Amino acid sequence: MAGTALPTAPISGVECGNSGRQRLVRLAGRYSLSAAGPIAVSGAHFGASLMFLHRLSPREFGMFSFLLVVVPFCLSVSSGLLGAPLLNAVGKPETVAGLKGAAFREVNRFYCLSAGFVTAMLMYFSGAEKLTSVLLGLYAATMTFRWFSRYTSYNANRSIPAAASDLIYSVTLLSGLLILIAMDRFTLHRTAGVLLLSSLLGVLPFGLNSLRDLFRLPMRGFMAVYAPIWRDITRWSLMGVVLSEMTANAHAYLVTFVSGPHAFALLAVGALMMRPLSLVLTALPDRERPIIALRLAAGDMAGALRTIVEFRFVTFAVWFGTVLLSAAILIWFPYLVIRGGFHAQSVMIGVAIWTLIVGTRAVRAPEQAFLTAAGEFHPLARAGLTGSVVSVLGTAILLIAFGPVASLCGILAGETMMTMRVMGLMNAWRRAHV
């Protein structure tokens, strides 16, 4: 299938030996196309969050914010379960890549259903009604399928369908929510339907073949193809993803289920302000990892290492822009994010801590993408273990002792520890290979 084909020749923008000016033009084109989609999705989620913040109760806003933690986790697991192993096929003969791609499609079908079921259960037990929980579960399943199609398109050097998918999803989501506001029908149940519709339409740019994959008969022996990949790669990449999630979002689960959605809503305001960078840090590695892997496979060590510098420039530019935007909103338009029931000082402190949290993630993002492309899954999993232990313990202790806002410092401590470990791994890799 075109959607899961893997490149066996240099990706556009990867060839070596061109002038610095040509490389700069290619770099700008690559990142502008890669970043346009994530920025659009981030803007749509930011706008949706503001609508939820002002149109729903703090409890319902907390549930929506919790959804925006659960679904990205499902997407991250998809990247660990299937995205990282797909990198192992980059540069391999087409017959090998095609066989692995077919097996991954089968695993993806099962995973999408599982992600939808788990999301529906989490939303139900966090307080959503049954039908709303079902709609949100279907949304999670569809978004997970869209994410798989998205990163396989990047692996196949097809950036346009991925960007188009992001844009269609974003425009549909904002348009649907604005229509609900105009009709005075803005409820959690109806917005769940808009989310589902947006994700379904977002699958269309990947083509009808991608949709047909959902309803094909299972491929015979696909587990025989996937089993050695699981043993050698996936179990470690998946472990790294889960531990990274525990490091980054321990507060979301602990605060929601210990103190309730209303308490998490206060923390979610700070996360909302940093959402543009958070989504970019989730989405851009899916574009960068295949490029790094292909450069390494071609023996272009200098080019692969140069990607770290390019990626870091983009992440810090987005971080700086996000911080400026957040400061402008809090100074001149505080009513957009500080509503009745929220303590203004607590919101300010939460935003400040979140600024440091996402800044710490931005520091390690290029090295983490590089090490993933280089196949260093096991060391990354160990780094994630260290960060998750610090994050979970720190968050739990601070939550019990000082309350929800202080618990964010536990996340910051875990992120800092993981960043230090990843940077150490990168330095060790350089010494061993350069």
CA dist., res. 63 & res. 59, Å (int)? 6
CA dist., res. 347 & res. 279, Å (int)? 21
53 band by pLDDT with thresholds 50, 70 and 90: confident
pLDDT tens for each residue of 174-204: 999 999 999 999 999 999 999 999 999 999 9
Provide the pLDDT for residue 241.
Answer: 84
Number of other residues whose CB lies within 10 A of the CB of residue 239:
18
CA dist., res. 90 & res. 94, Å (int)? 9
3 band by pLDDT with thresholds 50, 70 and 90: very low
Q: Return the percentage of the chain with pLDDT > 70, whole number.
A: 87
Q: Is 104 within 8 Å of 226 (Cβ atoms)?
A: yes
H helices present in 275-300, as ranges: 275-297
Determine the angle formed by the axes of helices 404-433 and 377-402, rounding to 10 degrees: 160
What letter does residue 117 receive in the DSSP assignment? H
pLDDT at 276 over 70: yes
CA dist., res. 347 & res. 48, Å (int)? 19
pLDDT tens for each residue of 37-46: 888 888 898 8
Q: Is 338 within 8 Å of 347 (Cβ atoms)?
A: yes
For residue 212 the two structure tokens come to 């047909």
pLDDT at 92 over 70: no
pLDDT at 362 over 90: yes
Residues in the chain, overall count: 434
Q: What is the 3-state secondary structure (H, E, C) of 403-416?
A: CHHHHHHHHHHHHH
94 band by pLDDT with thresholds 50, 70 and 90: low
CA dist., res. 142 & res. 163, Å (int)? 17
CA dist., res. 378 & res. 383, Å (int)? 9
8 band by pLDDT with thresholds 50, 70 and 90: very low
Provide the pLDDT for residue 7.
Answer: 45
Provide the pLDDT for residue 5.
Answer: 45
Query: How confident is the model over 407-419, as a mean pLDDT?
Result: 95
pLDDT at 55 over 50: yes
29 band by pLDDT with thresholds 50, 70 and 90: low
Provide the pLDDT for residue 423.
Answer: 97
Provide the pLDDT for residue 116.
Answer: 96
- Higher per-residue pLDDT: 99 or 49: 49
Task: Provide the mean pLDDT of the chain.
Answer: 85
Q: Where is mean pLDDT largest: 128-137, 218-227, 324-333?
A: 128-137
pLDDT at 117 over 90: yes
CA dist., res. 193 & res. 181, Å (int)? 14
Number of other residues whose CB lies within 10 A of the CB of residue 432:
7
Query: How confident is the model over 163-171, as a mean pLDDT?
Result: 95
258 band by pLDDT with thresholds 50, 70 and 90: confident
pLDDT at 288 over 80: yes
CA dist., res. 104 & res. 230, Å (int)? 11
Q: Where are the domains of the chain?
A: 19-433
What letter does residue 8 receive in the DSSP assignment? S
Q: Is 364 within 8 Å of 419 (Cβ atoms)?
A: yes
